[in-house]
Every structure is written in structure tokens, then in C-alpha cells.
């Protein structure tokens, strides 16, 4: 991985003020092709396997929450490359500053008219929107003014690729943390796009052969979000420890208080390390099976989901119990500790990993 020198507290503070990743970070991201973690080498991407990419995302999130999250979500949107029409891939790649941003929200409607779709709608929480060259947007399909339904009577949903000049970004990210992700909303107002901009995110619909595109979207999302939460939690725990010993220097805790803190810190770190190992071990088993058989068992998928949730739960418990030991330093808004705490307590609210089952 690139030297961590550019990813320091000063630039993280700058990123928060900008509400997006600073150019110093973007230069490294483009150089290292982190927005294209899963894009095949044949399309000038990194072509990483699942396990390798998760470890990169964890390390970036540990450096800075907004950095790790933006790379993860934009790389995840670019993972859709494996489901795109060949002619569209050839149109889009290669591009040095390529950046996909997307939203899981079904906020639009797409009406097929001849050889085009007419798209209108708005979508929320597109991390990296301010850097994006392309957006992915989920739409209900419409025909003759009526929604198309599947065999169960549910609306048919498909995803579309939109270019940045075709959408309007809406200032919609007003939360206490992850500020530099620039996770804004965007809208499209009756734009016409060719048929090849439409795709489905299902393993059987993959247009590229790389095994990474056989990972079901749910497990892909759960695992990538879990490693971000892990990275930010690890950073937060380190900063809490640093703050505690700084407080000890001027207030001199007695031996029983020091022993109490050290016991809790050691216990939480051991539990987190143990859960992290279980998570990565399970992902490795899943990935090896997928590479070998080109498909994954229901048990492997269930285990990836389970350990993503267990890891997230362990992170929540560890940080919530340790944070009070940072004292008022942790509540001081301009400190690194407070920023990382705000990032953690924003990102860990993601609905996908709230429940333990």
C-alpha cells in the first residue's frame, strides 16, 4: 500500500471542511486505482480478489473513516462493471479518474421508449458524489404508463448508469460524521439513455467471467461495510487509549483505576482480534470455494453474513464501553478523537448491519 504520509490529521480536518476528499488524497487514490479495486486488469483496474480487497478497505478506513468509506462505496459501485453491457464497458474504460457513485435506494422510474429509456427520479446517499464520473441508479421499469411486474406481482427493478453531466447533485448529507464522504443525493429530470445503460446485479447476469462477480450483492455489501466499521473502531480504540494516558499524566489515576482500564482495554482488544480472525477466516473459506466451483453454498453465504454482523456488534460494544475513558477530550469537536468517534457512530448506523441475525 502507498505510504500513509498523505493521510494525516491535518488533511482529514481539511477533508471535513471541504465536505469531500482533498486533492492530495484523490491523487493517491487515482494513482493506486483504489476506486477500481474490483475492475478487471483487462479494463485497467486492479482486479483484486475479495479477501485482498477487504483488507485494503479495512486499512484505509483505519487511516480515516471518510477515506475508507468513499473508496469502498465507489469501488463497490465500480464492481457493477461485471454486469454491464460490453459496448458500455468499452465506452467507459480505461479512464484514469474514473469514479462510480451510487445509491441502493429505488428512487426513479425508467420508461422504455423505442431504443432508449426515459429516466426520472432522485436517489439518496451517493458516497463520493462530488468525485463521481458516473452514477448508478435503481429504477422501476414502466411501460405504457404502467409499472412492469414480475411473476410475484412485484415491480421490476433494474439499475442504470448515468453520466455526471446527466444528473444534478443535491446537498443532502447533513450528518455529524463521515462528512468528507460527500454522500449527497442526486436527481435526473427526464433524461434519455440508450438501452445498454441498463443492468441487473445478479451472479447469473454477470457479463464478465471473474469470480468476484459471482459474489451475491448482499454478502458483498455486508462484508465491505463490516471491514470499514472494523477499521474505524480500531482507530478509535487507539485514540481512546492515547487520551487516557494523556489524562493520567496530569491527574495521576491510582493503581486500581489503571488496572481497571487496562483490563477492559485488553479484554476488548482480544475479543475484537478474535472476531476479526473468525470473519476473515470465513471470507477466505467462502472465496476459495467460489474460485474453485464458481458458486457458493448457502452455508458459506450465511456464514459471511453472520460473521459480518458479529464483527460489527463486537466493534460497537468495544467502542461504547471504552469511549468514556477519553474524558472531555473525546467531546472536543476539533480533535481527531472526536472526529473518529463521530465517524464511527455515523457509519455503524447503517441499516444493513444493525441486527445480529
For residues 307 and 237, give the distance between their C-alpha atoms in angstroms, rounded to a whole number: 21
Bridge partners, residue 324, by sequence = none
pLDDT value at position 249? 86
Calculate what percentage of the chain has a pLDDT beyond 70: 99
Give the 3-state secondary structure of residue 318: helix
Whats the size of the chain, residue-wise?
A: 357
Domains of the chain, by residue range, sit at 9-83, 98-201, 215-353
Sorting pLDDT into bands at 50, 70 and 90, what band is 1? Answer: low
pLDDT value at position 294? 86
Decide if domain 98-201 falls under CATH 3.30.930.10.
no
Instruction: Give pLDDT tens digits for 84-134.
Output: 999 999 889 878 899 999 998 999 999 999 999 999 999 999 999 999 999
Q: Which ranges constitute the DSSP H helices of the chain?
A: 9-18, 23-32, 50-63, 65-78, 86-92, 217-251, 255-293, 298-322, 336-347
Right CATH for 9-83 from 3.90.950.20, 1.10.3720.10, 1.10.540.10, 3.40.50.300: 1.10.540.10
Class of domain 215-353: mainly alpha
Are 356 and 310 in contact by the 8 Å Cβ rule? The answer is yes
pLDDT value at position 157? 96
Q: What are phi and psi of 100, to 5 degrees?
A: -95, 140
pLDDT value at position 3? 54
For residues 294 and 139, the model is more confident at 139
Amino acid at each position: 500500500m502507498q505510504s500513509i504520509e498523505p493521510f494525516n490529521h491535518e488533511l482529514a480536518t481539511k477533508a471535513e471542511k471541504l465536505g469531500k476528499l482533498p486533492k492530495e488524497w484523490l491523487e493517491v487514490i487515482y494513482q493506486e486505482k483504489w476506486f477500481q479495486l474490483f475492475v478487471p486488469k483487462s479494463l485497467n483496474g486492479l482486479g483484486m480478489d475479495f479477501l485482498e480487497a477487504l483488507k485494503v478497505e479495512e486499512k484505509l478506513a483505519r487511516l480515516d473513516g471518510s477515506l475508507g468509506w468513499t473508496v469502498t462505496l465507489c469501488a463497490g459501485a465500480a464492481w457493477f462493471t461485471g454486469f454491464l453491457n460490453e459496448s458500455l464497458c468499452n465506452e467507459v474504460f480505461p479512464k484514469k479518474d474514473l469514479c462510480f457513485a451510487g445509491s441502493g435506494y429505488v428512487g426513479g422510474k425508467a420508461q422504455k421508449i423505442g431504443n432508449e429509456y426515459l429516466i426520472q427520479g432522485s436517489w439518496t446517499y451517493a458516497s463520493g458524489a462530488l468525485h463521481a464520473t458516473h452514477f448508478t441508479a435503481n429504477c422501476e421499469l414502466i411501460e405504457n404508463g404502467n409499472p412492469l411486474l414480475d411473476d410475484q406481482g412485484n415491480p421490476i427493478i433494474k439499475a442504470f448508469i448515468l453520466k455526471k453531466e446527466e444528473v444534478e447533485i443535491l446537498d443532502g448529507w447533513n450528518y455529524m460524521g463521515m462528512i468528507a464522504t460527500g454522500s449527497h443525493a442526486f436527481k435526473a429530470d427526464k433524461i434519455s439513455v440508450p438501452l445498454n445503460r441498463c443492468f441487473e446485479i445478479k451472479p447469473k447476469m454477470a457479463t464478465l467471467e471473474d469470480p468476484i462477480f459471482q459474489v451475491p450483492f448482499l454478502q458483498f455489501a455486508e462484508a465491505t461495510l463490516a471491514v470499514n466499521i472494523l477499521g474505524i473502531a480500531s482507530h478509535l480504540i487507539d485514540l481512546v487509549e492515547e487520551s487516557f494516558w494523556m489524562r493520567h499524566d496530569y491527574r495521576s489515576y491510582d493503581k486500581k483505576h489503571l488496572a481497571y482500564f487496562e483490563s477492559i482495554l485488553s479484554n476488548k482488544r482480544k475479543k475484537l482480534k478474535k472476531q476479526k480472525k473468525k470473519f476473515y477466516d470465513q471470507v477466505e473459506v467462502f472465496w476459495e470455494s467460489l474460485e474453485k466451483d464458481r458458486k457458493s453454498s448457502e452455508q458459506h453465504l450465511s456464514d459471511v453474513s453472520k460473521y459480518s454482523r458479529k464483527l460489527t456488534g463486537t466493534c460497537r460494544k468495544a467502542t461504547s464501553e471504552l469511549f468514556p475513558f477519553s474524558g472531555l477530550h473525546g467531546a472536543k469537536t476539533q480533535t481527531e478523537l472526536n472526529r473518529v468517534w463521530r465517524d464511527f457512530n455515523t457509519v455503524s448506523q447503517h441499516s444493513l448491519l444493525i441486527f445480529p441475525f
